[in-house]
């Protein structure tokens, strides 16, 4: 199992090592004991806090997965969910567990707006989780059925995904919750496509991999994108935005063929803006004249050792057919996925890691944003943004 990120900036340490003064003779037994204790302590720490950000929307399944009377299942932040669509078309998400004996409700059946458990037939309103009927009760029974609830979560559909608002376990749902995220689009007509892939990693590794500018020339070497030899120094301006940061509007890298083509098409400059927003979104907008391309990648924690990238892109660039884009997109995702599978192999041994300037500065901001958000929620104070002002970063890629 890979662990939530614990990265020591700029330091290298030997994992699991116990250091002691060589003059103090320490028996092998004692040393082993210390090591085991240290490992156990680290293990408990990890178990206690999986490092998830609650009280945000996360994509659970694609809208196309909940059709008719089908019940779909998903896991978000280690919470098992059952999702479906009521007979009048409203998507719902419940905890996939019957409050009676815990059997997954997904083994039950959907009947209009009601989910019926397969074990004793308790019936629940799918959208509110409220219990409507317990078939075993007689007219003598005093049990207040309507006071029993199955776990349920706010649910919205956007951009072809069913989004679920994961409020913190045991906490009350806030009075008002923000709207679910929506991909920015810039004309009435456009093409849209979705891709997904799972990564055997903690969400933090998925996210810092997503925002990492330095792996491109090594991981994404492709004839259509760039070669390892095209590596050159870059300078990009970043600015703080609420809950995140933005790579300010700029002309994208000249060593990428698609951008050159776009420029030739419109005869106008190409600009791109990339945002990262908590908990897990990377948004990119590319414009050239009237042509635009907009994409969003989210990295969603499934379990502490598994996350999923959901990628959606929309564009009005006529020369870019969906199947061609999907072919390139899948190649990119597969390259990232293969790298993360290899990384997970190394992370099993719980190594100390490094974040270096400037290429890993976005990753540092991510960890700082996350920590500051958690702290502001704990203290009930406004969140302190880790960036006081715009910053220029330089790296080679
Ligand atoms: S376990 Fe669901 S009704 Fe009994
Ligand atoms: Fe990548």
Tens-place pLDDT, residues 157-170? 999 999 999 999 98
Ligand 1: nearest atom to the Cα of 121: 3
Q: Which is higher by pLDDT, 258 or 76? A: 76
Length of the chain equals: 397
CA-CA distance, 64 to 67, in Å (whole number)? 6
Confidence band, pLDDT 50/70/90 cuts, at residue 223: low
Residue spans of beta strands (DSSP E) within the chain: 56-62, 72-76, 79-85, 91-95, 109-111, 114-116, 123-125, 131-133, 152-153, 155-158, 161-166, 191-199, 233-241, 244-250, 271-277, 281-288, 291-303, 306-315, 391-396
Contact 254, 271 (CB under 8 A): no
CA-CA distance, 321 to 338, in Å (whole number)? 26
Asked which of 39-43, 176-180, 216-220 is least confident by mean pLDDT, the reply is 39-43
Asked which of 71-75, 116-120, 156-160, 255-259 is least confident by mean pLDDT, the reply is 255-259
Centroid of ligand 1 to alpha carbon of 110 (angstroms): 15
Mean pLDDT along residues 1-30 = 40
Mean pLDDT along residues 95-116 = 98
> Above 90 in pLDDT, residue 46?
no
**134 in contact with ligand 1, CB cutoff 6 A:** no
> Above 90 in pLDDT, residue 198?
yes
Centroid of ligand 2 to alpha carbon of 167 (angstroms): 30
Q: Cβ contacts of residue 60 below 8 Å, gap of 6+?
A: 74, 76, 81, 83, 93, 161, 162, 163, 164
> Above 90 in pLDDT, residue 252?
no
Tens-place pLDDT, residues 270-280? 999 999 999 99
**368 in contact with ligand 1, CB cutoff 6 A:** no
Query: What mean pLDDT, rounded, does the chain reach?
Result: 89
pLDDT of residue 12: 30
CA-CA distance, 196 to 181, in Å (whole number)? 17
**391 in contact with ligand 1, CB cutoff 6 A:** no
pLDDT of residue 260: 81
> Above 90 in pLDDT, residue 19?
no
**110 in contact with ligand 1, CB cutoff 6 A:** no
Closest Cα to atom 4 of ligand 1: 120
**CATH number assigned to the domain covering 191-396:** 3.90.380.10
> Above 90 in pLDDT, residue 191?
yes
Radius of gyration of the chain (CA): 24
Residue 120 gets the label, from left (phi > 0), alpha (psi -120 to 50) or beta, of alpha
**119 in contact with ligand 1, CB cutoff 6 A:** yes
Closest Cα to atom 3 of ligand 1: 120
For the chain, the structural domain boundaries read 56-166, 191-396
Confidence band, pLDDT 50/70/90 cuts, at residue 41: low
Q: Which two tokens stand for residue 213?
A: 């500018």
CATH architecture classification, 56-166:
3-layer Sandwich (2.102)
Asked which of 60-64, 180-184, 393-397 is least confident by mean pLDDT, the reply is 393-397
> Which position has the token pair 């009377």?
69
Record the pTM.
Answer: 0.87
Mean pLDDT along residues 373-377 = 97
Instruction: Sort 76 into a burial class: Cβ within 10 Å, 0-12 / 13-18 / 19+.
Output: buried
Confidence band, pLDDT 50/70/90 cuts, at residue 397: confident
**120 in contact with ligand 1, CB cutoff 6 A:** yes
Centroid of ligand 1 to alpha carbon of 149 (angstroms): 12
pLDDT of residue 319: 85
Confidence band, pLDDT 50/70/90 cuts, at residue 141: very high
Ligand 1 pocket: which of 96, 98, 99, 104 to mutate (most atoms <8 Å of CB)?
A: 98
**103 in contact with ligand 1, CB cutoff 6 A:** yes
Mean pLDDT along residues 317-338 = 94
Nearest 5 degrees, angle CA 373-CA 375-CA 380? 95
Ligand 1: nearest atom to the Cα of 122: 3
Mean pLDDT along residues 346-365 = 96
3-state class (DSSP) for residue 244: strand
> Above 80 in pLDDT, residue 132?
yes
pLDDT of residue 26: 44
Centroid of ligand 2 to alpha carbon of 343 (angstroms): 13
**101 in contact with ligand 1, CB cutoff 6 A:** yes
């Amino acid at each position: 199992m890979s662990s939530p990120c614990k990265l020591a900036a700029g330091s290298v340490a030997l994992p699991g090592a116990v250091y002691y003064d060589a003059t103090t003779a320490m028996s092998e037994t004692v040393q082993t004991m210390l090591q085991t204790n240290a490992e156990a302590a680290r293990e408990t720490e990890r178990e206690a806090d999986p490092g998830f950000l609650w009280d945000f929307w996360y994509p659970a399944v694609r809208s196309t997965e909940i059709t008719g009377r089908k019940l779909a299942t998903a896991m978000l932040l280690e919470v098992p969910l059952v999702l479906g669509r009521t007979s009048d078309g409203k998507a719902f998400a419940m905890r996939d567990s019957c409050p009676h004996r815990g059997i997954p409700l997904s083994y039950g059946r959907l009947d209009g707006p009601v989910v019926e458990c397969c074990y004793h037939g308790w019936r629940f309103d799918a959208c509110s989780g409220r219990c409507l009927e317990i078939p075993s009760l007689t007219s003598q029974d005093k049990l207040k059925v309507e006071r029993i609830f199955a776990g349920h979560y706010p649910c919205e559909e956007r951009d072809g995904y069913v989004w679920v608002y994961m409020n913190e376990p045991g906490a009350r749902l806030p009075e008002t919750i923000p709207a679910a995220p929506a991909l920015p689009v810039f004309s009435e007509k456009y093409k849209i496509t979705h891709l997904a892939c799972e990564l055997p990693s903690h969400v933090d590794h998925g996210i810092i991999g997503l925002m990492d500018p330095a792996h491109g020339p090594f991981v994404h070497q492709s004839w259509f994108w760039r070669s390892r030899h095209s590596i050159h120094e870059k300078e990009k301006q970043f600015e703080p935005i609420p809950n995140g940061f933005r790579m300010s509007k700029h002309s994208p890298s000249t060593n990428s063929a698609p951008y050159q083509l776009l420029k030739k098409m419109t005869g106008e400059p190409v600009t791109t803006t990339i945002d990262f927003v908590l908990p897990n979104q990377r948004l990119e907008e590319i414009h050239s004249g009237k042509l635009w391309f907009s994409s969003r990648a989210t990295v969603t924690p499934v379990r502490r050792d598994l996350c999923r990238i959901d990628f959606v892109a929309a564009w009005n660039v006529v020369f870019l057919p969906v199947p061609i884009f999907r072919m390139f997109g899948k190649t990119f995702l597969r390259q990232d996925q293969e790298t993360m599978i290899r990384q997970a192999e190394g992370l099993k041994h719980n190594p100390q890691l490094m974040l270096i300037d400037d290429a890993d500065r976005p990753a540092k901001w991510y960890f700082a944003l996350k920590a500051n958000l958690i702290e502001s929620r704990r203290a009930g104070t406004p969140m302190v943004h880790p960036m006081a002002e715009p910053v220029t970063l330089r790296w080679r890629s």
